[in-house]
Amino acid sequence: MPLRVCCMDESPLCLHGLRQTLAGAGCGIVAEISRLEDLENRLTQTPCDLIISEIRLAGLDLFETCHDTLVKHPNTKLIVYSYDENPTHVARASALDAWDYIPKRYSVQRLIQSCQSILSGQRHSDSLITIAKKFLSDHHKPADSILVPLTKREYQVLTHLSLGLSNREISKSLCISLETAKEHVQNILRKLQINDRTAAAIWSLKNGIPTLNLDVPTAN
C-alpha cells in the first residue's frame, strides 16, 4: 500500500516538485497545504502516513504552530524538507521525533529514500535526525581543566540549551517531564552562576562543549 502523504509548503513551485517526485516514487499525495493552521483539520478529515513540510510557512514556525497536532497523531511521520540547515532546527525536529530532516539542496533521491525507509521502519544511519538524536543523548563535557559539578543529565540538558531548545522540547527529547526539565535548567544556571539560557549557550561555546555538526555528505 503506498504511503499517504500530506505536503506543506507555501511555494506552489515546491508543491509541484513534490507532487512530481512522490508520484514517481509510488506515494499517494492526499493533501497539499500552504497554511500551517490548516493541518489539524486536514489530518482529521484525511488521515495520512507522512507529512513533508517546510519549517516555516507564512512566517509561522512548524514546531510551535503544529506541536500539539503532531503529538496527537503519533502514527503520522514527519519529514522536514527545508532550505534551512540551522542545527537548532534539526535538534528541534529531533526532539519532536521527526522521521527525517532533509535540506532542499540534497538530491530528490534522498527524499525518496527517506520515504521508503518509513516502510521498513528504520531510519538511515546518516539521517540528520539520527545524528541529532545521538548528539543530544550524549553528555558533552568541557575541558578537564573546567571543573563544574554538573550531573550527566545536566550536561545533556546543557547541550540542548546550547542549541536553543525550549523546556518543552528538552522534556520531549530526553523523555522527562516538563517540570523535571525546568528543574534541570534552573540547577544548571545556578551551578554555572549565570542568569539565562543565552548565557548558558555562550558558556558552552567558550568552554569547548561541541555543537551539532551537520557536515555530512549529500546523497545521490
175 in the same domain as 142: yes
The grid cell for 95 is 526532539
The answer to whether residue 146 scores a pLDDT higher than 80 is no
Q: Span 71-84, mean pLDDT? A: 93
93 CB neighbour count, 10 Å cutoff: 24
71 domain-assigned: yes
pLDDT tens per residue, range 89-99: 999 999 999 99
pLDDT tens per residue, range 172-205: 999 999 999 999 999 999 999 999 999 999 999 8
- Look at the chain and report how many structural domains it folds into: 2
214 domain-assigned: no
- pLDDT score, position 218: 52
122 in the same domain as 162: no
Compute the CA torsion angle 114, 104, 29, 45 (nearest 10 deg): 100
More confident residue, 2 or 65: 65
Percentage, residues of the chain above pLDDT 70: 95
1 CB neighbour count, 10 Å cutoff: 6
The answer to whether residue 1 scores a pLDDT higher than 60 is yes
Cβ pair 88, 211 in contact under 8 A: no
- pLDDT score, position 139: 81
Percentage, residues of the chain above pLDDT 90: 70
Which of 31-45, 108-122, 172-186: highest mean pLDDT? 172-186
> Which of 118, 133, 148 is the last residue in one of the domains?
133
147 in the same domain as 124: no
The C-alpha atoms of residue 91 and residue 89 are separated, in whole angstroms, by 5
> Which of 110, 133, 156 is the last residue in one of the domains?
133
The C-alpha atoms of residue 36 and residue 58 are separated, in whole angstroms, by 8
For residue 200, the SS3 value is helix
Could you please report the per-residue DSSP string of 101-134?
EEETTS-HHHHHHHHHHHHHT---TT-HHHHHHH
Please, which pLDDT band fits residue 154 given cuts at 50, 70 and 90?
very high
Cβ pair 9, 15 in contact under 8 A: yes
